[in-house]
Each structure stands twice: as structure tokens, then as C-alpha cells.
A and B are shown apart, each in its own frame.
Chain A
Amino acid sequence: MAAAHGPHGPAADAARHALKLGIPIAAGALMASVSAASCFAQAVPVGAAAFGSGAAPSFVTETIVWNGAHALPLETAPLALLGRPPAAFTSEWAPLYRGADGTRLEQAHQDVRVAASFGAWWAGADLASESSAFRGGQSRGESQWGFDAGAAPAQHGAVAAGIAQTRGAAAIATSIAADGRVGLAVEGRAMLAPAWSALVRASATPRDGALDVRWQDEAIESSGQWNEQRALARIDASVAAASLAATLEAFDRVPVRERAPADGFEPHLTWRGATLAASGAIGVVEVAAELRHGEGRQRIDVSRAGVPYAVAAGPVREDVAIASAGPRTGRWSARAWTGRSHDAASGSLALWPFDGIAAVAGTRYAAHTDLELQHAGVSIDGRAAEHRGWDGGLALWIVDPRGHYESWRGTLFALGRDDYGSDEFGAARAWLAGMRLARSQPLAWLRLRAEWVQWAPVAVERSREAAVLAGRGGGGDPGSDAHPAHARTWGGTVVRVAVELPRGSD
């Protein structure tokens, strides 16, 4: 992915994916402000990078993990316990990026799920452990900055109970964070009329995270606590041979201020999304189409004693159209999509926690970034075998990121500007090939499944402008080494292993 665009690509995409993939540390803000704002050699788009876990729902993320997202957690979707196998374990490891410059993006996830039914009643529990590393910065040369978001694995879990009947189902779940905060989720589904049904879901989930920020030889470790509040409403209808669905969803991240530590960060997100989906059969072909739109605003404040010294904030928006088709009786289907994802943000970093002398002048580093990712792709994908067998898929994804950034040092009460830098990036388009390969295999009473997803750039189309920029070693700054003449390439990897005790084995 990072190869998708020029010199700034690796870090930019690493950052982007870090957020979109839901790193459980809402951190990028810092990275945003420190990296871009300091305008040092490696410019990382603020908007794309800044917001950690609660990154808004993202089709880009879905594509990268190949729709193989973990089972919906009970703490946000209690009805997910219906129909679950009695026991299941899933482990996922995703080394997505490791750059020569020290930038690193990696995440891992393990969860154990158990469920049992008693007539119409169901009960279940989840326990998940998530860890992630999102590290970046620069430690050579005259500029030394860095961030390290993530660290120790975070565990969270929930217990849920629900009832399922012909005309509907309902469930409730609760979770407790390590610091004692309680989460709650409720979900209900009902038949409103023949061929019409509705689903509503709401949850509030406690979360926490850590973030280290380094400036020159000063490092500050911050922690944050917040609640993630989600709500979703969906209506499904069947008309003749077609099915229609309309979904509205909201996702807010709200920091827990009364627990703010001396050095802390507060992530904010407000996201609203809508989805329209239709599917049906045309002869022997099953077709489906989907339109998604979402937009919101994200922000992160990194503070000492309640006073923010690093801030990044900006809007985020995503649009995507998806179409798929496949034989009604076959195991495979083809899919095509096109979409656009936009992140913009402005960030600032005050130096008073790091350098009290600079504080006298009220020095601020500042940056603005604006990144738009236009993309389109096609894939052919096979459904997983019921018991034993191979399945997989192939995809071709064209990613065309475009944007610009500017950064400067705000001198003398932040009113003056020097050390100004700006650049356009993304004058290159990348063709990415993706492959998914999976094997389902029964073993005694268990069902095993292993899956591997690999993305790799196969071509980069550089515009004449980009080639010129690369050839001269930088855009607008002949003295900068920020733009290597060639884009680094990398391949994002996702490895997933699942073990289930199938229903009927209990």
C-alpha cells in the first residue's frame, strides 16, 4: 500500500492503516503533530495518521483484511452470540509495515468465545486480547522526534445473554474495563411486517491506551481513557426476489476526563454513516450492490496537567460503491468497487513540556494535511468450505492517493512563521495485487481454519510531475532528503488461525 505514492508513501500509509485498522490506542495525533508539524524529513499526513482506534468504519480497512474481520464482539453486538459455536478461538497477526526508517505498524488479536443455548435463551462470553505497535519518527540527523503508540496488549471481554424467537431477538451484554468502568450493549431485531425487519443496536465500551512522545532527548509517556459509543439502526425488506437494506450508524469516541492522568491524551471522534444495499437474483446469477457514505470529525489532545500541548483535528469522510455477482449455486463471486476516502487535519505541538526555553516564545510547530485516497478494485473470491477444503481469492486494487501538507514553526507567540515546508504528494498511482488463501480442516471434534492474506504492489505509475520531483530529490526543497528517488515497496500481511468446536459437538 505504501508504495502507492511517492516519497511520503510508507509512513503515510502505515499511519493511515494504523488508524483504520483500529489500533487500540487512539494515538496518531501525536505522530501527526510531531512529524508533520515539525516538518522534519519524513512528513506524515496528519489527518491520515492521527487517530488510532476509533478510526471510523473504513472500507479500506475491510479490503486490507479481506472482510475477514473477527467475529463481532459481544461488547458492541450482543446478538452476535446467536448461532455461535459452543467454543471458538481466533488468532490474527498482521505485520503491515516495517520501514527502514524505523516506522513500524503491526497488530495482533486473539479472542476466545463461548456460547450456549437453553431453548430460546442464549448466553455467552468473549475474551479478547489486542496488541499493536505503531511506531515512527526519526532518530538520525539534526531532527529527533518519535512516537510509540501501543505497547502492552489490552484485554477486554464481555458476557451476554439473549433470547431468540420467530418474530425477533434481543440481547444484552456487559463488560468491565481494567479500571473498573462498565460497558453496556443492547441489541434487538424484530419482524415489523411480513418481509420487513428492523435491527437496532447501541453500546458504550470503555477503552484505554498509551502513547509515548519523544522530542529531542525528552520523552513523555501519556495514557488515555475513553468510551466508545456506537449506535446502529437497520431496516431490511424483501420485495419480490430482491432484498433491500438501509443502515444508519453513529460512532462517537468520548474521553473520560475525570480520570485524566498528569500526562494523558484524549481521543475524540464523531462519525455518522449510512449504507444502502440491494441484492437479488437475475436468472442463475446472484447480484448485489451497495452504497456507503460516512463522515465525521476526529481529534486528539495530548495534555500535561490538563493543558493540551499536542493537538490534531480534522474531518474524515468516506464514500464507496460496491457491486458483486456470482452463480447462485456456486461458491465463488466476483466483486468490483470504487471509493474515495478523505482525511484532513491540522495539528500543533507546543514545546513547553519539552523545552522550557522555547516556551518563553510560545513556540508552536504546526501542520496541515489533506489526503484523499481514490481507489477501485476487482476481486474474485470463494466462500469458505463447510468442512474441509481450500478457498481463496484474488484481487487487483488501484490506489490513487493525492494530497498536500504544509508545516511550519510558529515563532513568537505562534504568530510568525518560519521553517516553512510544503509538498504535494500522491502524483503516483499504485496497482496492488492481493491474494487470500485459506484451508478448512476438521480435526477430531474441532474445525480448524488457517488463512493468509497478502498484498503487494505490482506497479507504480508515476506522473511526469512525480518523476521530476523524485529526480530532483524533493519538492520545493533542494536541500531536503525527504524524497528518495524511489518509492519503497512493501507487502501487508494478515495471518489468521481459528479453532472452533462446531455446534452439535457439545
Chain B
Amino acid sequence: MKVLTRLAVISTALAFALVLGCGGKSSTEPKTDPAAAAGEVDAGNTALANGDYAAANEHFKTAIAKDPSNAQAQFGAAVTEVYLLQDDPELQSLAGQFQLFQPGALPVSHGRLARRVAFSQRVESLRSSVVGPYTPGRMGAAVVRTLALAGNEPDSISEIQAIVRTKVMPKLQYAEDRLNAAEAAADFRMFIDPAVTGLPDTLEIDKTELYLLDSVINGVQGWLGILTAYNFDVENSDFEHVNAESLLAPGTAWATLHPYGHLALVQAKNDFETVKARFDAAAAYLANESDDQANDLIPQEWLSTQDYADLADGIDQMYAALTGPILVPARDANDQEFDLQVDLGRFLVPGIDDLKKALPNHTFENGELKPVEPITFSTESGYGGPTVYGIFPDMTDARWQQLTGLTGPPPTLRATR
């Protein structure tokens, strides 16, 4: 979870910001024209310098069509696709809602001050997510918040899912494909002129940056895969009369996997595993660089920072949690530390068909969900019990009670107070 949280961090920092481009037109021309491709790359860089990402994107795509082996064109197409997605007004309008469960999303406001505030909050959120102590509340925070958001604003989550599936995910996949093509080159090194960046000096981008961007994109894809896997649509789009009790009623389709949900979750797991693979590749490439680091966008010295160490540790933990049970330190309601087994991969594969069945036994008061105290999980057929479908392999009702502090007394006694 810490893992996922950290992944969210990275994702987010770039995440909503990045995104990829819509399916590029695959070249059908049999002959390549490297010179013309190089010219298109130059034109793309010029367009970038002028802030015209759409034109730059077109130039890079044209360059790829003329010479698919042009790694700079592949890189440029990937990056500009992300920019175009970032600048998409429709996505920006949703970003604020997304931010509710994914720190680091782009702020909605176009106001400078508001953006500053949002950025500052994002940074702090990212920082605390990475270096803060682990607590159970953080585990699966994204999922829980997604549920909360879905319950509170079902129209929003449905809209987000639709846009993510139809607009964001294809572009992300396009960007990843472009990056994979650039990564396949024997070597990749490009120098970005100050005229493009507006910075005082030339910047060098090499495979370190490619791998890191690839890692981040995979992180974003993983989160978005989870986000879109479940059905949060309200029947007949009756948003006026929806409440938690009606949504969580047994047998409803709400919070169940979409028909494609299982596949989305499998892909999400694969994406998260790729996060580590690419991150490790970036670190290895960076560590082995022997050239002057003065102009490197990400220099070797970054590997010596505590933030890097924390990030790498978080990604390692994420990977471990995805691939098998791990022990993570937790704090119970009395702030006492104990170890908790977590097998995060079980959430993704085989997945949980109906999230409603993963909830503890509960009741509703004024339409709001209230856990029954002491907290217990149903083990009747089809329900996950206290292990929540094996995500917490050694969890029992007693441990949940210790963890949450929801230890009783029984509702009847409580009612007499």
C-alpha cells in the first residue's frame, strides 16, 4: 500500500499531466526517409519552443511515419501526447475530482494563485505519502476513496471512467508504445536547445529519462485501470435519489467488476510491475553513465538523495506487495505498532467481483453507512471475511477490532447509553 501510495505519488506528479497521444497513424509507406524525419523533428522542436504542442505532436508523428527508427521523434511524440492530454479542457475539468483520491493531480483552476496553492498541496501530499509512517488508513486509500467518491458523486465517477477509458488510456498506451520504441534503440541521447526549453543551458535527455517516464506512465495506467475496472454507474442514471444504502444493497450492480474489469485489473497489476522494471532500469542506466552530468536533466547525484532512496524503497515494497504477502508495520487504534500481512496482488488478481462484499458488516443510519460494532466481516458464502479475499492473509475480526478501535460494545448496549 505504501507501495501503491508511492506509486500514486510518482504517477500523479506527472500523471494527469502526462498522457499520451491518440493513436498515431501507422505508416504504411514502405520506404523510410531519415533526412525528412530529422527535418520534422527539428520542426517539432521549433513548435515546442513556441509552445505549440499540437503542431509539435504532428511533426513528431510525421517524423515517425517517415522513419520509425528515429528515437527522438518517438520520444517527442510521447511527450507531446502527454502535454496535449494535460491541456485537454475536459480532463482539466475533471482533475479536481480526481485529486480527491489521487494526490498530485492537476489543479482545476487556471488561476495562478490557485495553481500555486494546489501545487504546494500536491507536493506536500506527495511528500507525506512517501516519507510518512505507514498506517492502515493509507492502505488501499485510493480504492477506498474511489468508493467514497463513487458513492458521493456517482455521476462524476462514471464520467471520469468514460473519459479515462476513451481518451486517456489510449493516449497513455500510445505514449508507452513510443517510449518502448525509443528504449529499443541501441542508444538514446538527445540535446534540447535552450531555444526550446527557455533555460540558460542545453539539456541532455537519455535513457534514464525514457525509463523514468515509462515507469510513471505505467503507474498512471495501473491506477486508471483500477479506477475503471468497477462499475459505479447508477441504475437509470437516477442521481437524484441515490444514497449509500441503495447503492450498497445486495445484488445491485454498483461496485461490481465491469465485464472487462478482470482484464483491466490484470493489466493494472502488470503495469505496476512494469513500474518497478522501468524504474530499476532507469536507476541502473543512470548509475552507469560515464559522461559529464552537468547538463543531464536527471543527474547521477539524484541517486544519492534520500528522496530517491525513499522512492526506490516504496516501489520495491509495492512490487513485493503485488507479488506476495509482505509484512508491513501498522499502528492500531491505540497507536501501538504491529506487523500486518498484506497481499496486494490479490486485489488485482483474481480480483474481487463485488466490492460491496468486501465491506465489514454494517447498517445504515439516515442513509449513511455505519459499521456494526464490534467490527466483523461476514464469512458467508461469497463474502471475503476478515481477510478481505486474502488481501490481509492473517487478519481476523479481533485484529480488525484492534486496528480500528471499533471493538464494541454491542449496538444494543450502545443504544442504552
Contacts and interface: CB of A to CB of B under 8 A. Distances in A.
Contact of B200 (A348, A352, A358, A420): A348
Contact of B197 (A305, A360, A366): A366
A472 interface: no
A364 interface: yes
Interface class of chain B by DSSP: helix
Given A358-B13, A359-B298, 11 more contacts: A307-B301, A308-B201, A356-B302, A357-B127, A361-B13, A364-B197, A412-B14, A412-B83, A414-B197, A419-B119, A479-B113
Interface in B279-314: 293-294, 296-302, 304-308, 310-311
Kindly state the interface size class of chain A when it binds its partner: 35 or more
A143 B53 CA distance: 29
Nearest to B215: A360
B212 interface: yes
A411 B205 CA distance: 14
A414 B310 contact: no
Closest 4 A-B residue pairs measured CB to CB?
Answer: A356-B307, A479-B113, A142-B120, A307-B299
B200 A313 contact: yes
A352 B301 contact: yes
A362 interface: yes
Contact of A362 (B116, B298, B306): B298
Interface in A275-323: 299, 304-308, 311-313
B200 A346 contact: yes
10 contacts: A40-B116, A359-B298, A359-B305, A360-B13, A361-B216, A366-B199, A411-B86, A414-B197, A419-B112, A480-B113
A83 interface: no
Contacts of B300: 305, 307
A415 interface: yes
B79 interface: yes
A355 B307 contact: yes
A410 interface: yes
Contacts of B55: none
B198 interface: yes
A142 B116 contact: yes
Contacts of A366: 197-199
A360 B216 contact: yes
B265 interface: no
Interface string B120-150: 1101001100100000000000000000000
A78 B286 CA distance: 51
Contact of A479 (B17, B114, B301): B114
A477 interface: yes
B51 interface: yes
Nearest to B87: A416
Given A356-B310, A360-B212, A346 B116 contact: no
B268 interface: no
Contact of A305 (B79, B127, B301): B301
Interface in B85-119: 86, 111-117, 119
Contact of A143 (B120, B196, B197, B213): B120
A413 B297 contact: yes
Interface string A135-148: 00000001100000
